[in-house]
Structure 1
Amino acid sequence: MTTDSTVRPPPPEASGSDFARLSRRIADAGLLGRRPGYYAVRITAVAAFYVGGWAAVALIGRSWWTLTVAGLLAVVFGQVALIAHDAAHRQVFRRRRASEASGRIAGAGVGMSYGWWQDKHTRHHANPNHEELDPDLAPDLLVWSQDQARVAKGLPRLIGRRQAFLFFPLLTLEGFNLHVSSVRALANRSLKNRTLDGALLFGHFAVYLAVLLWLLPPGMAIAFVAVHQGLFGVYLGSLFAPNHKGMPILTGDDRPDFLRRQVLTSRNVRGGWFTDIALGGLNHQIEHHLFPSMPSPNLREARRVVRRYCEELGVDYAETGLIASYRQALTSLHQAGAPLRHSDVAA
């Protein structure tokens, strides 16, 4: 998710002839136009499920069946996060103020600091899969390359040995990590609108916990939080893992032109309308990185144009099924941790 902050492709005359020609084809096909009707329906549907989910918690009340609703609300929270993503990229509204307001509201709905995430995601779009410049490749708990593994210490060193096997279990913590990272970012004085972000963030936490403790006994409320936030984290991680993990990692002065930088480091996931809904259009990751402000329902049609164009240029265009994409991501993680396993053998 980026924003005005969305990393916009440079003007055609400055971006290189390859991207300029592709941009003209995309524009001529009318694929950059807004889709207000689509987003009106989508936002209304997700909002209805959001409100309906909490209404179901109230109606079911003090029953362990509420944990089923917790699982369903995890998916709804993921869909709200996807709407925040599209709004931040100006896919929903053309104007910056409307985009920021809608993105900030959606972010608050899932307990995320919009300003923190916006800054992080902007840097990712500018340098996808660049080991030193992409914040998504920072060795936090996992190592993403063998170079990172060789210098890893603490938890990354411990987890990195078996990180491919631990990846999905660790995703159960991703929802909590989103909240913790959002709170920690409020200490950064350079963060824009951090007072507003802080108010929305802590407001979300207060209402979330107050509603659960009001409707459920303490033990059941804790179980609800564990199931809801755990599955929310798994869903979030499953949305983003297929996109770049296992694709070429850039280092140092590796700076291909804009088109190749975005295409060669991204992977598309094949599928039909259900895949588009479940992954929020991020399954068309190549097209999204080339044209971040393109509305997500237009990405499938853009895929045909971009794939054909990459074939003409002889640029590799990675596309695979969903399960295969996870397999490639896990294989890459396993290979990245190899130096840590070898050091165990040597010891």
Structure 2
Amino acid sequence: MARRPVYYTLRFGAVALALVTACTAFAVLGDSWLQLLVAVGLAVVFGQLGLAAHDLAHKQVFTRRRPTEIGGLIAANVLLGMSYGWWMNKHTRHHANPNHEEKDPDVAPNLLVWSRRQARSARGLPAFIGRHQAALFYPMLTLEGFNLSVGSFRALTAPSMKRPVLEGSLLVAHFAVYFGAIFTVLSPGKAVAFIAVHMGLFGLYLGSVFAPNHKGMHMIAEGQELDFLRRQVLTSRNVSGGVVIDALMGGLNYQIEHHLFPSMPTPALPRAQRITEQYCAELGIPYHRTGLIASYREALRHLHSVGQPLRAARR
């Protein structure tokens, strides 16, 4: 549980260097279609910024609140264009009740349904999407980057937002610089293409990192009681793959251990994984670990299965 300042200095330094490199390449290339390659690289950088904000929010980097909040506001609001306070509130509720149909905001019915009970209540556009959601899931992730920004602005008026003026000002500053630079350097057509590629791939990357964590795992219905250990282990999935997967997913591939020890720094999770898996085996608690592609297949099978009542209603 000890902080790892050297690890996070190197990791965040690498992300900062990548961001500076992308911005420099953008300025040097000028009004060129080659900027779409910069957009691809910037999408990966934004995904890593999101993972950095995640670790900061969980106090994995600093133990004190003030540097944690300053780092979170810089990574999320200033650099990413996402409200740190809004995401923090949402993610805290998710950690308290993962995959709970009534309490986890990440499985609240919206355009997608996560259980057959939700499917039976769906109407209109959610019902149409729900019938085909397994096929539409990854294409819809291309909109996730836009969704995070829209959700951030909408949350500024929510009672739970502690610093709406500060967060709103930082968000406006981010998008003023982002859109101002793009439309100053690029012609309108190239600018729109740049934004579409950058934000679309950013959403796809970030969504692909978070999707394997819980989608397709045990759903908790209202009234079902589980102790803390089982509530976190049964609803979470680990993803194997070595150092490449560790880097791409920012340590979230150790999702079970992350949920059991949210403030544990990323470098400690592999060791915690071995201890946790052995302990669960001793208690007879199912512990699920699979490869990345297999995790996507499981998530999509779940989405297809829970949409069955909507498909049956059309027959």
TM-score by length of 1: 0.90
> Following the alignment from structure 2 to structure 1, what is the Cα–Cα distance between the partners of residues 53 and 112?
26
- Equivalent residue letter for 1:144: W
- Equivalent residue letter for 2:51: L
1:154 deviates by: 2.1
User: What is the match of residue 110 of structure 1?
Assistant: 80
Match of residue 60, structure 1, among 5, 22, 29: 29
User: What is the match of residue 42 of structure 1?
Assistant: 11
User: What is the match of residue 152 of structure 2?
Assistant: 182
Query: 1:276 aligns to what SS in structure 2?
Result: helix
1:190 deviates by: 3.0
Cα deviations by residue, 1:283-316 (Å, 9 ceiling, x for unpaired):
0000000000000111011100100111111110
1:201 pairs with 2:184:
no
1:235 pairs with 2:205:
yes
- Equivalent residue letter for 1:106: A
1:250 pairs with 2:255:
no
Query: 1:320 aligns to what SS in structure 2?
Result: strand
User: What is the match of residue 92 of structure 1?
Assistant: 61
1:274 deviates by: 0.6
User: What is the match of residue 306 of structure 1?
Assistant: 276
1:187 deviates by: 1.6
1:61 deviates by: 1.1
- Equivalent residue letter for 1:64: W
Cα deviations by residue, 1:87-121 (Å, 9 ceiling, x for unpaired):
11000001011111101110021110011100000
Q: Where do 1:191-340 residues align within 5 Å? A: 191-340=161-310
User: What is the match of residue 73 of structure 1?
Assistant: 42
User: What is the match of residue 127 of structure 2?
Assistant: 157
- Equivalent residue letter for 2:124: G
- Equivalent residue letter for 1:159: I
RMSD: 0.7
Q: Where do 1:6-45 residues align within 5 Å? A: 32-45=1-14
> Following the alignment from structure 2 to structure 1, what is the Cα–Cα distance between the partners of residues 108 and 139?
19
Cα deviations by residue, 1:192-231 (Å, 9 ceiling, x for unpaired):
1111110111111111000111111111111100000000
Q: What are the ranges of 5 or more consecutive residues in structure 1 without an aligned counterpart? A: 1-31
> Following the alignment from structure 2 to structure 1, what is the Cα–Cα distance between the partners of residues 133 and 20?
37
> Following the alignment from structure 2 to structure 1, what is the Cα–Cα distance between the partners of residues 155 and 216?
28
The number of equivalent residue pairs is 314
TM-score by length of 2: 0.99
- Equivalent residue letter for 1:277: A
Match of residue 168, structure 1, among 99, 122, 138: 138
1:62 deviates by: 1.1
1:253 deviates by: 1.7
Query: 2:285 aligns to what SS in structure 1?
Result: coil
Identity between Structure 1 and Structure 2 (%): 61
> Following the alignment from structure 1 to structure 2, what is the Cα–Cα distance between the partners of residues 62 and 266?
45
- Equivalent residue letter for 2:158: N
> Following the alignment from structure 2 to structure 1, what is the Cα–Cα distance between the partners of residues 174 and 181?
11
Query: 1:269 aligns to what SS in structure 2?
Result: strand
> Following the alignment from structure 1 to structure 2, what is the Cα–Cα distance between the partners of residues 88 and 288?
13
> Following the alignment from structure 1 to structure 2, what is the Cα–Cα distance between the partners of residues 154 and 332?
21
